[in-house]
Structure 1
Amino acid sequence: MQMAPEANPQQLRQLVPHLNQAMAKFGVNTRLRQAHLLAQIAHESDRFTALEASRSGADYEGRKDLGNTQRGDGVKYKPRGLIQLVGRTNYAAASKALGVDLIHHPQRLADPELAALSAGWFWSTNQLNGDADKDDVRTVTKIVNGGYNGLDDRIQLLQAAKKALGMQSSKAKSQN
């Protein structure tokens, strides 16, 4: 609540145990790594309030770069989870890694447990602990977002997460 006071307290109570489990499972085990992960997922999930994108996903229809090759894939595999995975390819990879059939049941990615686990899996798969250890919010954002959308907000959330975790305030690297 300290880093995202506008978050729904009930939603946070549901997410916290799953986030703790995911961070332990995927080696997000220092305060700096945790601060970076929390900042990114807070931004991606609209302050922990959206485990599924409100838009239909139609804008992802036919996106071969996301593996959306079948009619309806854009809507079916729209952004979900705390890291907002999108596309058939990402859903298939998460499905295999987490041992859950997200291809036939994509809406399960919006369940608090899978939303947190998929974020940890994505973080680990993309080896973001190293970038977090360097306090490199720009690189972490590029990998999570595919660009720099919301970079300023992510930096502010990172500072708030550091403060909430009792860390000395330090400026994150915003450039390489």
Structure 2
Amino acid sequence: MTWLKLTEKELFLMEGGTNQFLEKVTVVPNPSGSPNEFQIDLTEVKKWMTRGNPPVPGSMAIEWQTGVPATTKFVPPTPTLGVDASRFTEDIVKQIFFDAPRGNIRKYLPKVLHYLETVGLGDREAILMALATIRAETAGFEPISEFISRFNTSPGEHPFALYDFRDDLGNGAFGDGARFKGRGFIQLTGKFNYNKFSKRIYGDDRLVQVPDLANDPDVAAKLLAEFLKDAELPPLPPNRKNWWRGTVTTRDFEKARKSVNGGTHGINNFINAFEKGEELVP
């Protein structure tokens, strides 16, 4: 649920249940009107209300040709996909994620494919890489938060304490581990990555301020796409040691998995999903 907040200076698209905004549009006085009249760039507001996954309730959708509220519930259009992406249908992906709820695939697959295409990863190999990564990170095909485990929490310590002062994650304080634990389809982890990819998709530190946004389906799909793009080819960013584009071609799946995870966690699920996808989408 999201909501709109209007001030004399800005119109905000707010995150439901918080006082954090997702996007904003500047409001300026109307030079030819009364002191109480303002102008808003409706282009951005239109995007909020009519984009593929409208963040505002359907009842607030606007018929922009007539300028009046839509009389029926707004049904978002299905994103137009390229030739390769169109081959990865719900039925195909369900066979890869055989134990995931079909409803999750129906709900999230179009977003994943759409955002992969927006960063130039709409080809078969890249989609297989993305699906295999999701399979390794969240087998249920949904954005989730990292669970407590022996890899992030020592016996008797507070949750995710092992992450608190991890320099490689950019964490440096008590509580950073829990605050910046893994989230989303990619399991984005660490303050460094939250800050880096927040600036990439928002242009500010919004994900650092509200880390749970990484589990928003659209944000999670964007993060998956941007993270994979970041590790696609050398030269790599300073915190990346491996790249995946060439390694999946040469079947070096361990290196491909390390390009995202840093290790080989979930490697069997990764390989099985990639090879099953190859079989289903030759």
TM-score > 0.5, shorter chain as reference: yes
Superposition TM-score tier, normalisation by shorter sequence: 0.7 to 0.9
Could you tell me which of 142, 145, 149 is aligned with 2:258? Answer: 142
More deviation, 78-87/65-74: 65-74
Q: Distance in 1 between matches of 2:214 and 2:126?
A: 23
Counterpart for residue 170 of structure 1: none
Counterpart for residue 151 of structure 1: 267
More deviation, 73-82/91-100: 91-100
Judge conservation of contact 1:23–1:29 (CA < 8 Å) in 2.
yes
Write out per-residue CA displacement over residues 65-124 of structure 1, whole angstroms, 9 at most, x where no aligned residue.
211112211100000011111000010011010116100010010111111110110101
* SS in structure 2 of the partner of residue 103 of structure 1: helix
What are the equivalent positions in structure 2 for 1:7-156 lying under 5 Å apart?
A: 7-55=100-148, 56-99=159-202, 101-127=206-232, 128-156=244-272
Q: Distance in 2 between matches of 1:37 and 1:133?
A: 14
Give the unaligned 5+ runs of structure 2.
Answer: 1-93, 149-158, 233-243
Judge conservation of contact 2:184–2:215 (CA < 8 Å) in 1.
yes
Judge conservation of contact 1:123–1:129 (CA < 8 Å) in 2.
no
Identity %, equivalent residues: 29
Q: Distance in 2 between matches of 1:130 and 1:124?
A: 13
* SS in structure 1 of the partner of residue 209 of structure 2: coil
Aligned residues: 166
Q: Distance in 2 between matches of 1:30 and 1:5?
A: 23
Q: Which has the higher helix share?
A: 1
Aligned-residue Cα RMSD (Å) equals 1.8
Give the unaligned 5+ runs of structure 1.
Answer: 168-176
Write out per-residue CA displacement over residues 36-66 of structure 1, whole angstroms, 9 at most, x where no aligned residue.
2211111111342452113243331221221
Q: Distance in 2 between matches of 1:32 and 1:146?
A: 20
Q: Which amino acid aligns with 1:131?
A: T
The TM-score with structure 1 as length reference comes to 0.85
Judge conservation of contact 1:33–1:132 (CA < 8 Å) in 2.
no
Larger Rg: 2
